A and B are shown apart, each in its own frame.
Chain A
Amino acid sequence: MIHQYKLNGYNIVIDVYSGSVHAVDEVAYDMIAMYKDGTREDVIAAMLEKYAGRDGVDEADLNECYDDIGELEAAGKLFSEDVYGGVAEIAAEHRRGSGEIKALCLHVAHTCNLNCEYCFASQGKYNGERALMSYEVGKRALDFLIENSGSRRNLEVDFFGGEPLMNWDVVKKLVAYARSIEGEHGKNFRFTLTTNGVLVDDEVIEFANREMNNVVMSIDGRPEVHDRFRRDYAGNGSFDRIVPKFQKFAEARGDREYYVRGTYTHYNTDFTNDIFYLRDLGFDRLSMEPVVCAPGDPCALTAEDLPVLFRQYEILAEEMLRCERAGKPFTFYHYMIDLSHGPCIYKRIAGCGSGTEYLAVTPWGDLYPCHQFVGDEKYLMGNVWDGVTNTEMRERFGRCNVYARPGCRDCWAKLYCSGGCAANAYHATGDILGTYDYGCELFRKRMECAIMAETARCLDAEEE
């Protein structure tokens, strides 16, 4: 399978199953499109007719191009076949059988000091009671992770909520505990803190910069966009309170990882203006996500929004390249793609690992497949004391890979997305093996933009 598209002046051909990317001129672009539709003579004749009178396009030249395409096909870089069914089986078998866990999302606070209307976690409560995780529950969760991590060295723990800074002392004690035991077990904890910023202060910044591998700072963009949803319980917007703290936080991160993460909705389909606003505030590592909410919700993205959003992603990629060439780069999370050293085929097929190697832990120590399933009792998997007791659920998630999703079969982007988010699929279709088609549309557009940008970088580097 191949995928061809034109974007920002580049003609790009992706060979899906080898992962090859080719930047081609117009002639090669058209010839590749018709290469499988006829004989050499048919293709050359059609090309001669299409490009009649075009300088530099003659029969000899077209034959050379045809030979080049054939050479790439023979090298397995064009029209390559899908040979990964066995890999998918192996990945599924391993996940279902091993029971190894490498990441936990610790819901240290099912409460929040903001009252964001669009919050998928219902203001941090996940449709339940407000609660804070005790140190004992969190400590047991870390022990549970180590006990079930097999030979994996890198263990990820995300302090999540609600708002995790509302349980900051427990977070700090849990980090200290993890650090005290990781060496003896041959493990390396990587912590992430996801925060709305309200309680950020110098002490939080200092601790996080010492211990957190990553910090995710929630800002939606322009003040009026941010304050439309991100308000406190008195109805006051939070923008003015949090932005100076986050600017200080981001600057203090230095080379350490952080993302300023926003959510865009139907109300700001011109979301690149929010990204550029955040960049102009000094943030250079940015993420902006489409809202996840019920269809019919006023903030839900609509079919009519799609072409607008597509153009927004193009504008973002074009602006990123412009800034890079001007020596002022910034990063957009979904445009980060390492074509030469990216994930292996197992990762590309097996996906996020929710329900198997990645679990969410509630303040009470209950286990769910991921943070987006918390609060849905049907998906309760066990607890940190007894482990995963709902092994049938683990089996279901273990089988959840891109080759198990009928909707992914003919998608050119499947080995970049790995089948997408099980929670989004479930919420959109009622089945974790479904596909959230709206999200797929956005994902494919983001991948086209990301690959275009990376292609542009490679070609720029060649010219230098």
Chain B
Amino acid sequence: MKRIKTIETRDLKKSAAVGGCGECQTSCQSACKTSCGVANQKCENKGAESRKA
């Protein structure tokens, strides 16, 4: 596309089918402790059968 470059991102809709293993870090636990977000969390799903986070 000439005027649009799409950055590679995780397809959130597809993640509804395979996500939810719950092994990822608790959002607040590492550095902030006073504010919360999940954008900087890593996905730790190793392909195990999914459960719901």
Chain A residues within CB distance 8 Å of chain B? 17-25, 27-28, 61, 64-65, 68-69, 71-72, 76-77, 80, 83-84, 87, 90-91, 93-95, 100, 102-103, 105, 120, 151-154, 156, 158, 160, 190, 192, 194, 214, 216, 257, 259, 261, 263, 287, 289-290, 292, 333-348, 350-354, 357-358, 370-372, 415-418, 420-422, 424, 439, 442-443, 446-447, 450, 454-455, 458-459, 462
Contact = CB atoms under 8 A, between A and B. Distances in A.
Contact of B38 (A20, A27, A339, A417): A417
Contact of B10 (A341, A447, A462): A341
B28 to A, nearest CB: 5
A21 B8 CA distance: 8
A417 B26 contact: no
Nearest to A421: B36
A346 B52 contact: yes
A84 B52 CA distance: 13
8 contacts: A18-B9, A216-B30, A257-B30, A341-B43, A342-B42, A418-B37, A442-B35, A458-B8
Nearest to A422: B36
A185 B32 CA distance: 30
Nearest to B19: A344
Interface string B1-36: 111111111111101101110111111111111111
Contact of A347 (B4, B7, B11, B24): B24
Which 6 residue pairs spanning A and B have beta carbons closest together?
Answer: A344-B19, A346-B53, A344-B15, A346-B20, A28-B3, A352-B27
Nearest to B42: A338
Nearest to A24: B4
A20 B52 contact: no
A341 B9 CA distance: 7
A263 B32 CA distance: 10
Given A23-B7, A344-B18, A454-B7, A337 B40 contact: yes
A87 B16 CA distance: 7
B35 A424 contact: yes
B3 to A, nearest CB: 4
Contacts of B36: 351-352, 417-418, 420-422, 424
A350 B41 CA distance: 13
Contacts of A421: 28, 34-36
Given A27-B3, A194-B33, A289-B35, A347 B41 contact: yes
A93 B38 CA distance: 20
Contacts of B28: 352, 354, 358, 370, 421
Given A72-B4, A290-B34, 11 more contacts: A94-B51, A263-B34, A333-B31, A333-B40, A334-B32, A334-B40, A339-B9, A341-B43, A343-B43, A354-B28, A458-B7
Given A24-B4, A156-B26, A348 B12 contact: yes
Nearest to A287: B31
A21 B9 contact: yes
Contacts of B52: 90-91, 93-94, 346
Contacts of A459: 5
Contacts of B24: 343, 347
Contacts of B34: 120, 263, 289-290, 292, 372, 421, 424
A342 to B, nearest CB: 6
A339 B27 contact: no
A370 B24 CA distance: 18
A113 B25 CA distance: 29
B5 A23 contact: yes
A371 B33 contact: yes
A339 B8 CA distance: 7
Nearest to B23: A154
A194 B11 CA distance: 35
Contacts of A439: 35
Contact of B39 (A77, A257, A450): A450
Contacts of B41: 342-343, 347
A416 B6 contact: no
Contacts of A415: 12
Contact of B3 (A68, A154, A357): A68
A36 B5 CA distance: 20
Q: Which of A28, A263, A454 neighbours the largest number of chain B CB atoms within 10 Å of its CB? A: A28
A357 B6 contact: no
Given A337-B40, A344-B53, A345-B16, A65 B6 contact: no
Contacts of A17: 12-13
A416 B36 CA distance: 10
Nearest to B45: A344
Contacts of B25: 103, 154, 156, 190
Contacts of A71: 1
